[in-house]
């Protein structure tokens, strides 16, 4: 009999107060609310004032554990998707494990940039399906504000910080129905932080660099295709899903994907306007919001989608 990974809890955390587009203008960034809203759909984002990815991950994780009604000590798998880990090592997952007081669970980070949460969720699902693990915590946590060049208006206005978490538990019915993950390393250069640490100093460029239009075009091309692939793997059509929860990078990408999938915007969860692009945290933050406000109900089917640096993309179809 197949073992399913059932979503038993979700949680989210955003640091501090919203930083509105006009606040960025007031801080001397050569941009405007009108440009950011028209080109991206972003109106505000949250920025960490020193909180690290593992600290935000802990706050989101505690909420997810509370909803799932399980103790951290019961977890046997902890995965953190992040491109902004606290340290080079140990992993953010091990720091989170320590902060939660769990001992003995398998714990490691997954690095697939903005697709990271979908990658990590798919990995956790494989562990659970195999029968080796039964209770997994999957977190997306990012402090992208640390890697932004605040003099580069083409990137710094786009991103925000935060964390989102999901608890997956082995179940006999319902849960993750299908996942699909892809990457194309030949496009590594269109979205990267190319710096390195060598001999105690940062060499190269330590900031996020993006060829926005190339990323935009690739995202639109792959997102509808991977949605279809994932739905077909579960014997469904994209029009059959109740909710689309896409990576929150640009409202124009989200709308184009929804159109190609035959889904009206009423079925698409959007947090981008208030969160900005929180990379690996964006999908679990949006999922948590829609679960907590009652939009996503037990028995409904939703599709998670990620796309980002690598170039990476993926989807997960879940019956709640």
Residues at the interface with ligand UT7 (CB under 6 A): 31, 35-36, 39-40, 114, 153-154, 157, 191, 212-213, 215-216, 219, 249-250, 253, 277, 307-308
Closest approach, Cβ 281 to ligand UT7, in A, equals 11
Structure tokens at 26: 């007031």
102 catalytic? Reply is: no
- Which of 46, 133, 247, 275 is catalytic? The answer is 247
Q: Judged by CB, which is closer to ligand UT7: 78, or 148?
A: 148
Which position has the token pair 């997810």? 64
What spatial distance separates the first Cα and last Cα of the chain, rounded to whole Å?
A: 19
- Which of 94, 102, 114, 231 is catalytic? The answer is 114
DSSP state of 48: -
Asked if residues 316 and 300 have their Cβ atoms less than 8 Å apart, the reply is no
Closest approach, Cβ 240 to ligand UT7, in A, equals 26
Task: Report the alpha-carbon distance of residue 287 to residue 278 in Å, rounded.
Answer: 13
Task: Report the alpha-carbon distance of residue 166 to residue 140 in Å, rounded.
Answer: 9
* Ramachandran sector of residue 310 (left: φ over 0; alpha: ψ -120 to 50; beta: rest): left
Q: Judged by CB, which is closer to ligand UT7: 72, or 191?
A: 191
Neighbour-count burial of 302, counting CB atoms closer than 10 A to its CB (0-12 exposed, 13-18 middle, 19+ buried): buried
Closest approach, Cβ 253 to ligand UT7, in A, equals 6
Q: Judged by CB, which is closer to ligand UT7: 15, or 306?
A: 306
69 catalytic? Reply is: no
94 catalytic? Reply is: no
Closest approach, Cβ 22 to ligand UT7, in A, equals 13
Q: Judged by CB, which is closer to ligand UT7: 37, or 62?
A: 37
Choose among 137, 94, 97, 81: nearest CA to 283. Answer: 81
By beta carbon distance, the residue nearest ligand UT7 is 212
Which position has the token pair 């990476």? 312
Active-site amino acid positions? 114, 247, 277
């Amino acid at each position: 009999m197949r073992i399913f990974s059932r979503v038993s809890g979700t949680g989210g955390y955003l640091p501090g107060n919203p930083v509105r587009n006009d606040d960025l203008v007031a801080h001397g960034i050569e941009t405007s609310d009108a440009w950011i809203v028209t080109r991206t759909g972003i109106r505000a984002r949250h920025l960490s004032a020193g909180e690290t990815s593992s600290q935000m991950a802990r706050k989101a994780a505690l909420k997810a554990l509370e909803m799932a009604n399980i103790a951290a000590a019961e977890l046997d798998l902890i995965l953190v998707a992040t491109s902004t880990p606290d340290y080079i090592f140990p992993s953010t997952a091990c720091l989170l494990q320590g902060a939660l007081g769990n001992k003995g669970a398998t714990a490691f980070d997954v690095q697939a940039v903005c697709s990271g949460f979908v990658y990590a969720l798919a990995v956790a699902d494989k562990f659970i399906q195999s029968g080796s693990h039964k209770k997994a915590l999957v977190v997306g946590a990012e402090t992208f504000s640390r890697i932004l060049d605040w003099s580069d208006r083409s990137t710094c206005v786009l991103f925000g910080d935060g964390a989102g978490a999901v608890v997956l538990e082995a179940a006999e019915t319902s849960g993750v129905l299908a996942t699909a993950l892809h990457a194309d390393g030949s496009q590594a250069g269109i979205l990267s932080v190319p710096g390195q640490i060598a001999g105690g100093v940062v060499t190269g460029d330590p900031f996020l660099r993006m060829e926005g239009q190339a990323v935009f075009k690739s995202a639109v091309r792959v997102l509808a295709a991977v949605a279809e692939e994932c739905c077909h793997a579960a014997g469904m059509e994209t029009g059959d899903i109740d909710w689309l929860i896409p990576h929150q990078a640009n409202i124009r990408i989200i709308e184009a994907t929804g159109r190609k999938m035959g889904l009206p915007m009423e079925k698409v969860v959007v947090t981008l306007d208030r969160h900005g692009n929180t990379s690996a945290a964006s999908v679990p933050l949006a999922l948590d919001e829609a679960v907590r406000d009652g939009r996503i109900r037990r028995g409904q089917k939703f599709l998670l989608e990620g796309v980002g640096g690598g170039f990476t993309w993926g989807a997960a179809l879940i019956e709640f």
